[in-house]
Every structure is written in structure tokens, then in C-alpha cells.
Structure 1
């Protein structure tokens, strides 16, 4: 069974941490997760402010530029994430987690700063969308590498016995970045007219993103390293060859439940807004309020489900995720399709997100526990990026394509089948955490 080599030490007494050690480790969690929040804020702010800057970069009169726009979104969203997962995983396993995280947040800062200062199509012609595409590719690369390295670092630095709780803050900050991006846009909409937002106001969120990224970069530079000299000096550390030569079963296990986890996560977060408008026919503004409140509650759930995993075990959490997802996905989506009350929609979405929380709260640590230190960041980052790109990133397109073809309910069953896969793959998880118990 993958990752079970050290299971016998999992029952060893928990170490006693001094007050200074506890403070040090908690500061490290804050530093790592603050960078994660900034990364995701910068990434989502593009999506939420695109409605205001699209005209500045993509004039409809030029079909070539429109094609470039489409290609850019595709490349940034799908191509760059797996490359980022591989690149930053390799850096983290060879040069250290801290180095990888500092480079990642610096790249995101640079991308945001470039977008904030970029000339428009009217000023420099087709160079404007091309430069926007490059900046977006840069950001896609950065965010592709952020997940694996942060998950690895937070799992290694967290206090033993509370790893589920502390690791849950990776998704707290991921969702928090999305909520902050929405909040900044909402505040700007209150302060500026639509004409001002389209003329120059859309640049403000990118300036905020760049400034906060600089703060996160300095916080990360002060972090201690968790990757020892032995791992860094290992010539096979962070290599694809080493990963697949010795850890293919672990990689496939992680890929299996990441596929289901990413699919259901995107179904009930980013796609749900469109589902409530197009299928349930709720007003757009009402839907925005419902989803903002739901995301806030979902964010607050993560530490609770992380604490639960510290008590019942990561494997039990994952089995509950797969089983409940299998049983309730079709009933919840069927009920949401005909919902007329925003309050009922909110309750149903929270029920779904509670099931998803069994996975998201511990997704980083449960993946990190499958790999030894020398390929941990690479194994986590690459498996996540591939599973996310194929199943998570395509969730909306598959759902809308099936709806257009008149087979919307087929999507419900597609998600359910992937939940069955997640359940079956979770059966392969070791009953006790293994590799991480050797780290400190």
C-alpha cells in the first residue's frame, strides 16, 4: 500500500513543543498561507474585473485579437498549471520549499504589476493583448506551482497531532482570496461609475494585488526551511524519473481523488453561480449574494473539518467524502435545478460544500503524506495540477455542453461516478500517516 512504510511510528507519542516552537510554527503557517491568499486573490481578480477591461484589450472589430484572447485563457488555465506544478515542485524538492514559495509569489506580483500598468489596444495595438496573454501565462505558471509547495510546507511545519487543523488554512486562504477579489470589485463598483471602471478603475485591484504580494514575499523570506540538506543533495530529488520509478501508485492514488475532488469543488463553487441563473432561473444579483455568503461559510468550515480529521483520521475523512458525494450529488443538484427560494438554494449549497469540506480541508496534507520528502512537492503539485486541469477546469464546459445538448442531468451522474472513483481510491490510503512522521 502506497505511503505505508512508516505506519508503525504513527502511534508514537506526540512531541512536546515549547511555547517558542509553537509560536515559530504558527508564524510559519501564517506566512505560507498569507502568500497563498495573495496568489489566489491576484488570480481571481482577473476573472472578476475582466468585464471592465475586456474592451481595452480585445476590440470586437478584430477577430484575430479575439482568437488570441481565447487562446490565452485556454493556455493560462490548462497548459500552465501542470507546467507550474512540475517546475515549482522540482524547485521545492531540490532548492527548498521556502525558495519555491518566494519565487512563486514574486512571479504573481510581477504579473499583476504588468497588467496594472499595461497600455491598451488603442495605444499599442495588438501588442496589448499579446502582453496581457504573457502576463496571464506567467500568473498561470505561478498559481500552478503554489498549491503543491504550500501544501507540502504547511503539512511539514504544522504541529504534530494538529496537522489536519493547520493544513486546512490552505483552503481557508484559497477561498479567502476569491472572496477578497469579489469584495474589492464590489467596493469599486460603489465608489466609481461604470465609465470610470472601464477607463482606469479596473487597474486598481491589480495594484492592490501587486502591493500585497510584496508584503507576502517578505513574510515568506522570513520563513524557516523544512527541507533538509539530505533531500537537497539527493540527485534524484524533484525528478519525474524518481517520482514514477518508485511512487507511481501514490501518484495515481492522489490523481484519482484529486480528479473527483476538483470536479465537485468547481461544480459547487464557480459553476454554481451560472447553474442557479441558467437552470434554476434565480436573478443574477440574488445568486451573487447567495454564492458570496455560501463561500464565506465554506471558508469557515475548513478548520472544523481539519480538526475532525485529526480525531477520526485522514482516511476516514476521505471515505466519508467519497461516500456522501456519491449518495447526495444527484439529489442536491436535482433539488437546486428547481429551487425558487434563495434561502433554500443557500441551504442546499452549504450541504454540498460540507461534503466537499471532508476533502478540501485536508487535501494538501493527505497528498503530502503519500510521498517522501525528496519528491513530495513534485508529487503533490503535479498530481493536483493534472487532475485539476482535466477534471476541475473542464467542469463548467462539460456541464454547459451537456445542458446545450439537452442532457443536463447526465452531468449530475458524471460527478457521481467521479465520487465513486474518489471513494474507491481512498480505500488505498494508509490507515496511519507515514512519511511525515519521519520529518521532524
Structure 2
């Protein structure tokens, strides 16, 4: 969520930057500033009224002590009017604050200056690629056919138990999943990330804190009776561990990782591009989260990018990195890099990671700050990245490592299990 004081100081720059997202911000930002003026004016009137009411109450007490009951009675009438006025002002203030907050929730984050312009994914900018695309033998299969051939993933059984998008992993498929999870977590630990085992359900405040609510409410599974949400990513519970906290400068940086299943409704997703593991309602992912001082967040982002690059280099999968354009940028992100693995059997790129810097956008919602050496309180920067999401990595391994004799396993995973 943007800060009102920053909007006031940078309205023209914000309006221009948000056009990269195809978001016409001018009227909305003007409405924000108008509501904030009403809030400030009402708060000032309320403070003055409360101060006068307190003064009158003290005077009434003194008049009663000195026996001047008539004068005290006159002031009691004034006190009653002041209390009624303060009640009205308080109600106006609360309503204005609520309207202001709801309006701020509709404004996406301001893109970083390096974000390219563009309407959608076709305009994303490729900034790096690595690995040779293997030449597969004739008759090579996409991963959903390989899964059936080798009996390692059962999509039909998952459909029977739950529905489409909930696969059942079996035998060597389960062991390969487990090996990938262990590998990703071990690499995160080596890089200094503290591992957490996390709840899979979060409350509404947590959803608002990291920006899933209200923006992605329709994409989250909602347990209505308890008003809880199944997590779309471990980013949500990890980052919310620090909600409403003031950290010391010596606590920073914070580096946390977590493996969780993730749940996404993916409403409206149909077609061949979502077959097999390409798009699921439940999938496993190892997530990285960093909390940084503002001046350190972009070097930290580059460090997270290098971490994911290293994983894919060790897995020997062909991949590329995209800088997302304004039209494809997530609502809460200031800058996002997407990683894509090439699916040789499908002849297409599959997104397997997003690494993002949210700057102060989440921290403002979370009220997550730190106290600098001078004792001043400042908002922190939050970052997160997939390292990695398993389904499409697994799809890439199955398709790119297939041979006429069977499916090889990346050498880096062999030590985690006997395949």
C-alpha cells in the first residue's frame, strides 16, 4: 500500500509511473489526497474539541468545589455539547480513515524505473538465458504421457479424489518430489536462510498484509465458517510473522525459507496450456523471503536471482530470465524477474519462479518498521522468490531428461534418494 505522504510529495511522478501498468492513477490519487485533507482537518477539529472539553470538565470540578453550582450548571450544558460534537467528529474521522484505506488498497505498487513498458507477457524483456535445449529422440513424449507410461503421477486418480488440478504422485514420482524439496531447502540453508514449517491457513489480516486481499480474493480458497484462507504461497505466513513489529537495525537482514503446499483456484484456466503439471490447484513450493533496509533491497534482489540461477544450473535445465513489463507486473511488486524452463516435448517455455522486490508496499500494510541508529522509525523493504515451484521443474526434468531407455535423474538429486 502506498504511503499518503509519498503520494502528496510525488503525485505527478507516481501518476506517470503507474501508466506503465496501464493504470490511470490521476483521479484516484487526487481522491486520496482530498480524503486525507478531510482526515487531517477532522482530526485537528477533534483534538481541539477534546482539549476544550477536558478544560471545561476541570473548570466544572473547581466550580463545584467552591460552591458555584449555577456557573457549573451552565458549563455542564457546554460540556454536553462538546461531547456530542466530539462524537460526531470521531464518527466522521473513522469513516474517512476507512474510505481512505479502502481507496489505497485499490492502487498497485509503483513500478521501479527499470520496468519496461508493455501491455502483457509478450512485452516482457528477456535479460538472460542459459543451457542448450536438448535434441530429443523421435517419439519423445510430454510429461503427462511420461507420467502415465512410468506410473509416477496419476492425474485421473487425483480428479477422482478431489478434482482436476490435484494430481497424485506415486512411487518414484513421490521420491523425486521429495528429493527436489530436500535439495531446494538445503541450498536455501547453505545461503543463510532460516527454515520454517508453517501453517497452511491464514487469517484475513495476513491476506491483507501481503496484498493477496483484496486483489486476489477470487483466486484463494476460503474456509468461510472460520474466515481463514488456504495459502497461495509460503510468502504469506512467513512475511506475516513480522506484522506489527518494529525491528532493530541489528536484526537485519532477515532471510527465511519455507516449504509448503500452495493452493490456488486458478479460476478461468482452461486449454492445452494447462495440461498435466502446467497449472495446478495444489502444488509444492520452496519460498524465499527477505526483509531488508531500503538501501540494501535491490542488491538483495540480485542475490536472490543468482540463487535461483544456481539451482537451475545445477539441475542442468535450459532456462531464461525475463524482466516483467508494467502490464504483466503483479499488483504488489515494484520489480519482478520471472524464470522460465524450456519444455522440449511441449516446445514452449514454462514459468518456474518469480523473484520480486515489493519495496515498502507490503511493509506499509504490515506496519513493519525498523529503528535506525538515530532512533528514527522507517518502513522496511520486503522481497520474495520461488526457489523453486516443483510442478513445472518436475515437468522440465521429465521431458528434458527422457531417453529411449527411460528418464534420467539430474546428478545433483541422486544423493537425496535411490531412484
- TM bucket by the smaller chain? under 0.3
TM-score by length of 1: 0.22
Relative contact order, CA 8 A, sep 6+: which one is greater? Answer: 1
TM-score by length of 2: 0.22
* Higher Cα radius of gyration: 2
Which structure has the highest strand share of the two? Answer: 2
